[in-house]
Amino acid sequence: MKREVKFSLVFRDMWQSAGKYVPRVDQLVKVAPAIIEMGCFARVETNGGGFEQVNLLFGENPNRAVREWTKPFHEAGIQTHMLDRALNGLRMSPVPADVRKLFYKVKKAQGTDITRTFCGLNDVRNIAPSITYAKEAGMISQCSLCITHSPIHTVEYYTNMALELIKLGADEICIKDMAGIGRPVSLGKIVANIKAAHPEIPIQYHSHAGPGFNMASILEVCEAGCDYIDVGMEPLSWGTGHADLLSVQAMLKDAGYQVPEINMEAYMKVRALIQEFMDDFLGLYISPKNRLMNSLLIGPGLPGGMMGSLMADLESNLESINKYKAKHNLPFMTQDQLLIKLFNEVAYVWPRVGYPPLVTPFSQYVKNLAMMNVMAMEKGKERWGMIADDIWDMLLGKAGRLPGTLAPEIIEKAEREGRKFFEGNPQDNYPDSLDKYRKLMKENKWEVGEDDEELFEYAMHPAQYEAYKSGKAKEDFLADVAKRRAEKDKSPEEDAKPKTLTVQVDGQAYRVTVAYGDAELPAAPAAAAPAGEGKDVLSPLEGKFFLVKNAQESALKVGDAVKEGDVLCYVEAMKTYNAIRAEFSGTITAICANPGDTVSEDDVLMKIG
């Protein structure tokens, strides 16, 4: 009999890899006893990454969710672990050092045992403070190697990175194969090298099923000495998700490893509850295509955790492209055509932006750049026209050191726009901010919470926290659920109601209103009164409108003077804040959207006179 291999259920990532949301706290507490009853998990991933932002979007307190969700596992002796993004904490953009330090104290107090820290650039400088902060808070520091496949990312590269992290104090190493494109034999060599140097260091393997390598990879890393394997379970395994617990257990048992037995009655309970949560509302945000394996993912190497939201984003991107094509009498594009163009563009963009490992947030940045390029080119424009500020931070070195070199056209664009490259420690770009948020909370008469957890939440997710506190987040979420349910549950009578469509006849696009039977057509809406005088500032893309992206900025207001090139506002799309800059100087005469409002491409955001 070979040595023991233990299992970790990545319950949070199962949902994130399938769609947009994770279950509400009442659902999490409901499923926890059945997960424990399965009797086969040494660890469960309970939070981290996008988990807390999702709670805020529900209008639900994420701190209560973490405390209640981790509690039953602690009582059962099962370790809980979370995913954190090093310099970026729990969000897409960098976090000040004082907020990062508070982060670990709060999570430990709330019941999280292990923090799985990764830097999307594999820059050890960004991970090093997290090791210190986690250990000072009493957490186990598990540090990740973000696996990708490129001329730069070799076995030697990853071996050296792991040894450096262990030297800095990492308690464990995670092989984070976030896209499932790690080649099995190479992964086995990495694990073997680490174990040869440090047999006492536990190693955990995390992978996604998408391209089809990961069952072979699991066997290879176990042969090389891996201690823990991350697994998913039906109905959220495979596809953009993870290898299924039942298959992994059967494979390793046949190979002679000591693996835990599974209480199948409890397994079926958990499976049924997952389906119940999907039927409740979560399934409204899960694309059926996310259940499919796709070897096309080998090329772009996009991670499973991102593919869930990508398919949802694709619908609005496709709509935007086809609106343009309708206006210009061009043939419409299908979703499959757009997906292939996107994958091809990712493969084009990735080496030109320095081969950042395709993991949050840099997978989103590369994908967003590729999508913006595709949309621009489909509309007759050139590549690289719209680059969000957060993406510029990556390109300029403010978020860490890129593994490769930038293409000349990116460097030339930066120089034309007067942007400066940064060679120092990324953390130095982001000054401490807790005092500012304490002051804001006092002004708003908000409690900082047990163990300063509410202060932490506000400092980590300012815009989402304010929307949560105002009630707008819950209102918008419930409205979106109602809209999606109505679309899903449309009756034939609903389908018979008049609707406006864009149709093509012999290549010519027409806007038509369709009605059936004797249905009465609606009256034309009255023209809206002008909101102010001046030139329109149009949204270049669909997303959520914000005047600021953090508390360090001051919101513009009507009457403010602006100069050409000034940042006016932001449109948050595909998880990044895209700065909208003034194309001319003048005075703001109208602000035509409220913070948090969803805007479409070409909607008027402001007027400048």
Contact by Cβ (8 Å): 209, 17: no
Report the share of the chain in percent with pLDDT over 70: 89
pLDDT digits (tens, 9 = 90+) for 434-482: 999 999 999 999 999 999 999 999 999 998 899 999 998 899 889 989 9
Confidence label for 515 from pLDDT (cuts 50, 70 and 90): very low
This prediction's pTM: 0.80
Nearest to 391 by CA among 94, 177, 51, 146: 94
- 135, pLDDT greater than 80: yes
Confidence label for 510 from pLDDT (cuts 50, 70 and 90): very low
pLDDT of residue 438: 96
- 282, pLDDT greater than 70: yes
Question: Mean pLDDT: which of 60-64, 155-159, 399-403, 602-606 is highest?
Answer: 155-159
Give the CA distances from residue 433 to residues 335, 399, 550, 578, 598, in Å, rounded to whole numbers and listed in that order.
43, 18, 10, 22, 28
pLDDT of residue 311: 64
Question: Mean pLDDT: which of 171-175, 538-542, 578-582 is highest?
Answer: 171-175
> Where does residue 199 rank: exposed (0-12), middle (13-18), buried (19+ CB within 10 A)?
exposed
Name which residue leads in pLDDT, 470 or 503. 470
Confidence label for 375 from pLDDT (cuts 50, 70 and 90): confident
Name which residue leads in pLDDT, 488 or 76. 76
Confidence label for 497 from pLDDT (cuts 50, 70 and 90): low
Which residue is listed with tokens 């479409």?
A: 600
> In sequence order, which residues have a C-beta less than 8 Å from that of residue 273 and are 6 or more positions away?
27, 30, 31, 34
**Integer Cα distance of 569 and 129 in angstroms:** 32
* Least reliable range by pLDDT among 2-11, 167-176, 258-267, 565-574: 565-574
Kindly state the helix (H) or strand (E) to which residue 79 belongs, with its residue range: strand 79-84
Q: Mean pLDDT over residues 390-418, rounded?
A: 92
Q: Mean pLDDT over residues 483-489, rounded?
A: 85
Confidence label for 302 from pLDDT (cuts 50, 70 and 90): low
Q: Mean pLDDT over residues 140-157, rounded?
A: 95
DSSP string, 198-239: -TTS-EEEEE--TTS-HHHHHHHHHHHT--EEEEB-TTSBST
Q: Mean pLDDT over residues 341-347, rounded?
A: 86
81 by DSSP, 3-state: which?
strand
Nearest to 498 by CA among 468, 467, 519, 525: 519
Q: Mean pLDDT over residues 122-149, rounded?
A: 96
Confidence label for 511 from pLDDT (cuts 50, 70 and 90): very low
Q: Mean pLDDT score of the chain, rounded to an integer?
A: 88
pLDDT of residue 401: 93
pLDDT of residue 463: 87
- 274, pLDDT greater than 90: yes
**Integer Cα distance of 499 and 516 in angstroms:** 10
> In sequence order, which residues have a C-beta less than 8 Å from that of residue 546 and are 6 or more positions away?
463, 569, 570, 571, 572, 577, 595, 596
pLDDT digits (tens, 9 = 90+) for 49-61: 778 878 888 888 9
Confidence label for 305 from pLDDT (cuts 50, 70 and 90): low
Delineate the domains of the chain, giving CATH numbers in brackets.
6-287 (3.20.20.70), 492-522 (no CATH), 535-608 (2.40.50.100)
pLDDT of residue 551: 67
Q: Mean pLDDT over residues 190-199, rounded?
A: 98
**Integer Cα distance of 345 and 339 in angstroms:** 10
